[in-house]
A and B are shown apart, each in its own frame.
Chain A
Amino acid sequence: MEIRTEFHKKLRQIQDEMLAMGSMVSKATLRSIDALKNRDMELAWQIIADDKKINQKRFEIEEKCVELIATQQPMAGDLRTLVAVLNIVTELERIGDHAEGIARITVMIGDEPPLKPLIDIPRMAEQTVDMLRRSLDAFINRDAEAARKIAAEDDLVDNLYDQVFRELLTFMLEDPKTITRATRLIWVAHNLERSADRVTNICERAVFVVTGKMEEIGASKY
């Protein structure tokens, strides 16, 4: 007989809120690339403003976790869930910061002419967001195996980052006048590369919640 229904209901609600925060962050990341592609300053400013909501959401979830820990003395799997959620919302908040960072770079670029059509950077964003969504699913489904596989996909993002870097380097070598614009795009790519690394941290928490072991998986080359 389930005897802590109220507590377990709250525990589920916290995980639902974490998922909602995950989708806010996914959206911010994809939209930051849209804003960059389309030089949409309005959208870029909107992403910068929305990051405050993401930060706020993180604090709300943290507070709820702390309250449950203080009042309900969670144990075993429940305790691991709360500890993992506390870590995951921190990672999500930072991924949100990376999206905001991309939006700020877009504002900086303003209406400068594009250096080249964006191909690999949007791919990096799509791959990262896809990994992010699946990592949260793996957490909710308590699927450690899936989490390990997703973390391994970080290599794809790293490889794209290499590619972007090499390509932009050739632009800079050929024409030093492109250095400013190319550097800004490298910053964008770097933000995405960091976001994907944070997804691997989320995967580590998805493994932890199942096994109780803190293990480093999918260590990034960056």
Chain B
Amino acid sequence: MGINLDVPDISARPVQRCSTKIKAEKANLFYGTFQALRDITLDIPSCAITAIIGPSGCGKSSLLRIFNRMNDLIPGARVEGNVELDGIPIYDAKIDVADLRKRVGMVFQKPNPFPMSVFENVAYGPRRHGIKNRGQLEEIVEKSLRHAALWEEVKDKLGQSALALSGGQQQRLCIARVLAVEPEVILMDEPCSALDPVATLKIEDLMRDLSQDYTIIIVTHNMQQAARVSDMTAFIMMEPDRAGVLVEYGPTAQIFTNPKDKRTEDYITGRFG
């Protein structure tokens, strides 16, 4: 493939480092009459990894999905309160949700490559956003795969089915697919729970790498993973009415060595779970 390496780096966007990227103020999420999240207030910094931890069913994934309005797809779901991306309220009626989801990409628990070639998986998003030029697509595919630390492993089989890749490779392909549309924020919902330990460490390494240029928010059941990989950690817990609340949010090193709230301490030391 004739790659022109003079194209602008997809990561070379004007990013204000370590400013507030996403802000939630008293955000409440309802599924019909059931309140899933209550009064969530937190500032998520840019160019850092923020981990969301908490017991099963506490609303971690729901919180993640608030940030790119994925909950909109669930009938009866509604969000109250304010959620902002770069200071702009994302639940405003004027917001183009497709555009929002381009800026705030998502990686899911199970690798979900499309049943098409490796190349087409990555080119899919840019094509949808109107890029038709083959050369340009090739550049985007290579850059995205390189950025997702997958290029060396797949450069000779771009035409092969993505489903033939290993689980870890498939997950990195899904990350490349997100990167291809030049997002600013990457939401990861349990991105390693279907992967073996080595593939998990590779993804974690990749996340650290990507955090230089992207705001990453990860939901994880694996507390060690949150401790290893994130800069900030938010601990969510269910209240008796089953609504999730933010118990504690702070620098990861502090949360895992000296949490302020007894409930955080009890959860991360396994005294309840």
Contacts and interface: CB of A to CB of B under 8 A. Distances in A.
Interface of A: 1-4, 7-8, 73-80, 211-213
B268 to A, nearest CB: 4
B38 to A, nearest CB: 23
A179 B255 CA distance: 58
A7 B268 contact: no
Interface of B: 223-224, 227, 255-259, 264-265, 268-273
Chain B CB within 10 Å — which of A1, A75, A212 has the most? A75
B142 to A, nearest CB: 38
Contacts of B256: 75-76, 79
A4 B269 contact: yes
A84 to B, nearest CB: 12
Nearest to A81: B269
A94 B224 CA distance: 35
Contacts of B257: 75-76, 79-80, 212
B272 A3 contact: yes
Contacts, number: 45
Given A80-B257, A80-B258, A75 B273 contact: no
Contact of B258 (A1, A4, A73, A76): A76
A78 B273 contact: no
Chain A CB within 10 Å — which of B224, B270, B271, B273 has the most? B270
Nearest to B268: A75
B227 A75 contact: yes
Contacts of B259: 76
Contact of A3 (B224, B255, B258, B270): B270
Contacts of A1: 272-273
Given A75-B256, A76-B258, A2 B272 contact: yes
B270 A77 contact: no
B270 A7 contact: yes
Given A212-B257, A212-B258, A76 B273 contact: no
Nearest to B258: A212
A80 B268 CA distance: 13
Given A80-B257, A212-B258, A73 B269 contact: no
Contacts of B227: 73, 75
Chain A CB within 10 Å — which of B227, B256, B269, B273 has the most? B269
B238 to A, nearest CB: 14
B271 A4 contact: yes
Contacts of B255: 76
B224 A74 contact: no
A89 B21 CA distance: 46
Contact of A73 (B224, B265, B271, B273): B224
A213 B254 CA distance: 11
Contact of B273 (A3, A8, A211): A3
Contacts of A74: 269
List of 9 A-B pairs having minimum Cβ-Cβ separation, nearest first: A212-B258, A4-B270, A75-B268, A3-B273, A78-B269, A76-B265, A3-B270, A73-B224, A75-B256
